[in-house]
Amino acid sequence: MNKVMLIGIVTKEPDVRYFDVDQAVAKVRLATKERGYVAKNGTKVPDHTDWHNLVFFGPLAKIVEDHVHEGDKLYVEGRLRYSSYEDKSGTVHNQSKIMVENMELLSPKQQ
């Protein structure tokens, strides 16, 4: 099973593009944070933040375009995808993306 569930904060405005008259794809950057703590032996473990690349298709992409903005809190469910590419200098870059299948807006609506 390939299932990812995340709750985080949108770190910049979504990038929405149309590749056909009515077909959209939206890309969103989401930050998730684990709170730091002090271990029983006194060791301090700092906060840890991860950044995730989310990809939305079709109707979800249009919802993202209309309702998701930088600073919003989101819950997403999807599948994890890995890919890699080689740049002009020959360096291989690995990427991971969450292909979002379900989303819930957790931020209150703006007045």
pTM: 0.85
In a domain, 13, yes or no: yes
Q: Sort 16 into a burial class: Cβ within 10 Å, 0-12 / 13-18 / 19+.
A: middle
- Coil/strand/helix, residue 65: helix
Give the pLDDT confidence of 15-42 residue by residue, as tens digits: 999 988 789 999 999 999 999 999 999 9
pLDDT number for residue 110 = 65
Q: Sort 77 into a burial class: Cβ within 10 Å, 0-12 / 13-18 / 19+.
A: middle
In a domain, 84, yes or no: yes
Question: What CATH number does the domain containing 82 carry?
Answer: 2.40.50.140
Give the pLDDT confidence of 65-109 residue by residue, as tens digits: 999 999 999 999 999 999 999 999 999 999 999 999 999 999 887
In a domain, 38, yes or no: yes
Give the pLDDT confidence of 42-70 residue by residue, as tens digits: 999 999 999 999 999 999 999 999 999 99
Q: What's the domain range around 13?
A: 4-105
